[in-house]
Amino acid sequence: MDYMTIDGIKVPIEGEKNILSLIRKAGIDIPTFCYHSDLSIYGACRMCMVEDDRGKMFASCSEQPRAGMVIHTNTKKLQQYRKLIIELLLSSHCRDCTTCTKNGMCELQSLAYRVGVHAVRFENRKEELPIDMSSNCIVRDPNKCILCGDCVRTCSEIQGVGAIDFVHRGSKMQISPAFGKNICDTDCVGCGQCAVVCPTAAISIRTNVTEVWDAIENPDIRVVAQIAPAVRVAVGDKFNLPKGENAMGKLVKALRIMGFDEVYDTNFGADLTVTEEAREFAERLESGEKLPMFTSCCPGWVKFCENKYPEFAENVSTCRSPMSMFSPVIKEYFAERDAKEGKQTYVVAIMPCTAKKDEILRPDNHTNGRKDTDIVITTQEVIRMIRQVGIKFETLESEACDTPFSMASGGASIFGITGGVTEAVLRHLSPDKDHAALESIKYSGIRGKEGFKEATVSLDGRQIRIGVVHGLKNASDLLENIKAGKAEYDFVEVMACRRGCILGGGQPVPMGPTTRTARTNGIYQVDQLSSIRYTDENPFLAKVWEDIIAGREHELLHRAMD
């Protein structure tokens, strides 16, 4: 075993690609802005500089460990430089911390405190740049950008979108869409992964909290919440609950305290989707047309496909997403009562996703011109609302959702993770509904964190070729393979965010390895603890179908195709 010495600690080299990883393994939390293990090495923030025993300084993120190396991470000089770098970043940074949306969660702010920058010796002479509010999903404030490039690399390397990049040189450098366009005029799909990696508030979630409070305040409005599957395993993050713990019951209670009239589970919507999408898939299999069929739950993916691969647009299932199927059903459910009581039902969708904010504005998701989901707020926003009210979330007692949309299958709950939609659909299509069938689907190869998964399952004596991808770059690669004739599928599930909705753009950050694993386990636990695992066993579903949906499937559950 090779070793190197870090601050006097002998550290074994076990295949680490850079010295930074070894330093962190040694238990030293060296700060960085631009290093993310998932992204290519950029080396711009210079915070991870270290000094070797000959006094040579280099960035530890880009240096390979060599046996016998001796390095120091906290010499006086290094400490001084780190402090100066933060000071330099602050020197051209908007310093209105108290009113910043990232106040208290900003990495620049916390590092400034950590390394002891108590004054900035330079005045900010930088010209103020306009804020880009053009997107329904995110807000770009270049005055808060520290140009670490994390968003640029995420957008191009993970998502294959490349909506933003660096423009101009020197101190005039900015991150911007090409030709200074607004972000809404680019191929941006609104996934919000740029906001996830942004250390400051240079890219943040477009918040709609005010609209929700306004609706709650209005006595003529029936405020109905629906909570997406991935929200429950993340919302507790900011209230000291164990990572990945299912906090659905507490969230339901909190929403009731805040004044929501009805609280429902989007998982019910997912059961609708499973039913309808399985039917559509069976039809396509039968006719052999528009195969492979791509899933349509993820608005980031749907938009990506339209933008970059319009030739595959008709392969995407015409089913609306669970949220967008559920909302019209809710509105139909209350239609009569609304008319009688002179009220208006207002659906607030609590989502792990920023792209959902755009999905609800798409006319093809409207029913006869009616906007079904009125507003989308993300997990992060609902956390902010809970804090605004002062609810001690962690001490709340759990409550169940309101009937009849309270019960859902385990299959619906795993929509929040990559492979989940496929798994639920396969369960639905499976003729056997026993434990063995569940296990065989579980181990067919569709679970797991690999970006690109393939499986073949047998259905009615037919071999169904399945592809599961998450991260749009992976989706792009898969589509290229199909185009090149290198791969053939019948059914493809795509989630824009890696690992699926549990790491969606609206989820609380940071989302490091521990969080990822905890949320994954959390989601699967929801499934395992469900009293019903198969969609077709949901007793409320049949009733709702019969009362509301029957005969109106295309109007309520599908995107309007022209």
Partner 1 sequence: MNRLASREDLVLARKQSEERIAGMKCRILVCAGTGCLAGGSQKIYERLCELCGSDPDAQIVFGEGAACADIHTDVEKSGCHGFCEMGPLVRIEPYNFLYIKVKPEDCDEIYNTTILGGKPVERLLYTMNGVTYPAQEDIPFYAKQKRLVLKNCGHIGAEHIEEAFAFDGYKALEKVLFTMTPEEVIDVIYDSNLRGRGGGGFQTGYKWKQVARQSEPVKYVVCNGDEGDPGAFMDRSVMEGDPHKMIEGILIAAYAVGAQEGYIYVRAEYPLAVSRLKIAIAQAEEAGLIGDNILGTDFSFKLHINKGAGAFVCGEGSALTASIEGERGMPRTKPPRTVEQGLFGKPTVLNNVETYANVPMIILNGSEWYRSIGPENSPGTKAFAVTGSINNTGLIEVPMGTTLREIIYDIGGGIKGGRKFKAVQIGGPSGGCLIESDLDLPLDFDSLKAKGAMIGSGGLVIMDEDTCMVEVARFFMNFTQNESCGKCVPCREGTMRMLEILEDIVNGRGTMEQLDLLEELGNAISDTALCGLGKSAALPVLSTLRVFRDEYEEHVRDRKCRTGTCKALSSYVIDPKLCRGCSKCARNCPVDAISGELKSPYEIDQSKCIKCGTCKANCPFGAVLCS
Residue 173 touches partner 1, criterion: CB under 8 A: yes
Residues 300-329 touching partner 1, rule: CB under 8 A, are: none
Q: Does 107 bind partner 1 (CB under 8 A)?
A: no
The answer to whether 276 contacts partner 1 (rule: CB under 8 A) is: no
Pair 82, 17: CB distance under 8 Å = no
Q: Which stretch binds partner 1 (CB under 8 A): 117-125, 273-281, 289-297, 539-547?
A: 117-125
Task: Identify the residue among 46, 153, 519, 559 touching partner 1 (CB under 8 A).
Answer: 46
Beta strands in 66-188 (DSSP E): 70-72, 138-140, 165-167, 174-176
Considering beta carbons, is residue 66 or 552 the nearer one to partner 1? 66
> Is the Cβ–Cβ distance between 275 and 408 less than 8 Å?
no
Q: Give φ, ψ of 72 to 5 degrees.
A: -120, 140
Q: Which two tokens stand for residue 539?
A: 């007793």
23 binds partner 1 (CB under 8 A): no
User: In terms of C-beta density within 10 A (0-12 exposed, 13-18 middle, 19 or more buried), how is residue 421 classed?
Assistant: buried
CB-wise, 16 or 306, nearer to partner 1?
Answer: 16
Selected binder of partner 1 within 172, 340, 435, 462 (CB under 8 A): 172
Stretch that binds partner 1, among 169-177, 260-268, 284-292, 508-516 (CB under 8 A): 169-177
Work out whether 257 is an interface residue with partner 1 (CB under 8 A).
no
Contact positions with partner 1 (CB under 8 A) in 118-157: 121-122, 125, 146-147, 149
Q: Single out the segment in contact with partner 1 by CB under 8 A; choices: 74-82, 210-218, 384-392, 416-424.
A: 74-82
**C-alpha–C-alpha distance, residues 104 and 127, integer Å:** 26
DSSP-derived secondary structure letter, 416? G
Decide if residue 479 touches partner 1 (CB under 8 A).
no
Token couple for 372: 């079904």
Site stretch for partner 1 (CB under 8 A), options 59-67, 200-208, 317-325, 424-432: 59-67
Candidates 98, 99, 171, 531: give the one binding partner 1 (CB under 8 A).
171
Closest approach of partner 1 to the CB of residue 473, in Å: 17
Handedness of CA 546, 551, 553, 556 (dihedral sign): negative
Neighbour tally for 305: CB within 10 Å: 25
Q: CA-CA distance, 419 to 438, in Å (whole number)?
A: 14
User: Does a cis peptide bond (omega within 30 degrees of 0) precede residue 510?
Assistant: yes
* Ordered DSSP codes for 239-285: GTPPTT---HHHHHHHHHHHT-SEEEEHHHHHHHHHHHHHHHHHHHH
Piece of the chain touching partner 1 by CB under 8 A; list 83-91, 183-191, 272-280, 531-539:
83-91
How many residues in the shown chain lie near partner 1 by CB under 8 A? Answer: 36
Pairwise CA distance, residues 400 & 45, whole Å: 47
Angle between helix 248-258 and 379-389 (nearest 10): 50
Residue 81 interacting with partner 1 (CB under 8 A): yes
Minimum Å distance from CB 15 to partner 1?
16
Q: With contact defined as beta carbons under 8 Å apart, do 549 and 557 qualify? A: yes
Under the binding rule (CB under 8 A), the answer on residue 486 touching partner 1 is: no
Least distance between partner 1 and beta carbon 86 (Å): 9
| 169 interacts with partner 1 by CB under 8 A | yes
Alpha carbons 533 and 417: distance in angstroms, whole number:
16
Question: To the nearest whole angstrom, how small is the minimum distance from the Cβ of residue 481 to partner 1?
Answer: 22
User: Which residue in 37, 77, 110, 488 binds partner 1 (CB under 8 A)?
Assistant: 77
Q: Which residues face 140 on adjacent strands?
A: 132, 203
Of 26, 30, 45, 272, which one interacts with partner 1 (CB under 8 A)? 45
Dist CA 356 CA 297 (whole Å):
10
- Distance between first and last Cα of the chain: 65
180 binds partner 1 (CB under 8 A): no
Judged by CB, which is closer to partner 1: 168, or 543? Answer: 168
Residues of this chain that interact with partner 1 (CB under 8 A) are 41-46, 49, 57, 59, 61-64, 77, 80-81, 84-85, 88-89, 91-92, 121-122, 125, 146-147, 149, 165-166, 168-173
